[in-house]
């Protein structure tokens, strides 16, 4: 998901480009202005953290672009592409390492496990909004 700072800073196209160029497949995409209930649900694992209320306000602060990305090892690959949670520690070449500095403004979210992906997809998408299709280059991306 491109978070509100990523949208405000005009990073949506750049982030989507990286995902497409890597060979991962976009099977769902929309724009949402996250409300309080959705924010709490999305970040419930962090409810006891000192930064929780700032995090909820951050994710509610403007439109976000949630996406469902499919592909072999998509979760692991995307987390590597996104980089460390704290952009100061994120490697150059990662989205966070190239485009941001502050842990509280790290422009993207990416699910960290199949379980969290399933849960997070269900927060933002209805099953009917996800597309089942083959990318024309799949036989060139995969042996
Ligand atoms: P992740 O986004 O890399 O999975 P998490 O540890 O799940 O990182 O934290 C969720 C989000 O909470 C982060 O992306 C960041 O926006 C925010 N966050 C995490 N740690 C801090 C912190 O120490 N201060 C402020 N915000 C934080
Ligand atoms: Mg996380």
Give the ligand at the shortest distance from the Cα of 84: 1
Specify the pTM: 0.97
Domain 4-134, CATH number (from 3.20.20.100, 3.30.70.141, 3.90.76.10, 3.40.640.10):
3.30.70.141
* Non-local CB neighbours of 62 within 8 Å, separated by 6+ positions: 4, 5, 7, 8, 33
The counts of H helices and E strands in the chain are 8, 4
For every one of its 143 residues, what pLDDT tens digit does the chain have, with 9 covering 90 and above? 999 999 999 999 999 999 999 999 999 999 999 999 999 999 999 999 999 999 999 999 999 999 999 999 999 999 999 999 999 999 999 999 999 999 999 999 999 999 999 999 999 999 999 999 999 999 999 99
Q: Best substitution site from 51, 61, 120 to test ligand 1's pocket, by max atoms within 8 Å of Cβ? A: 51
Told to judge if 42 belongs to the known catalytic residues of this protein, a careful annotator would answer no
Give the ligand at the shortest distance from the Cα of 108: 1
pLDDT for 122 equals: 98
For ligand 1, whether the C-beta of 103 sits within 6 Å is yes
User: How far, in Å, are 7, 21, 141 from residue 2 at the CA level?
Assistant: 7, 17, 25
């Amino acid at each position: 998901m491109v978070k509100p700072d990523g949208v405000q800073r005009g990073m949506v196209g750049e982030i989507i480009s990286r995902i497409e160029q890597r060979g991962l497949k976009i099977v769902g995409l929309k724009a949402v202005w996250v409300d309080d209930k959705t924010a709490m649900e999305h970040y419930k694992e962090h409810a006891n953290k000192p930064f929780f209320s700032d995090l909820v306000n951050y994710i509610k602060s403007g439109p976000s672009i949630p996406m469902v990305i499919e592909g072999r090892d998509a979760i692991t690959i995307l987390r590597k592409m996104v980089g460390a949670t704290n952009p100061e520690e994120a490697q150059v070449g990662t989205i966070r390492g190239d485009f941001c500095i502050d842990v509280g403004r790290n422009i993207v979210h990416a699910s960290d496990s199949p379980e969290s992906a399933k849960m997070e997809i269900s927060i933002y998408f209805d099953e009917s909004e996800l597309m089942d299709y083959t990318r024309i280059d799949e036989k060139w991306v995969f042996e």
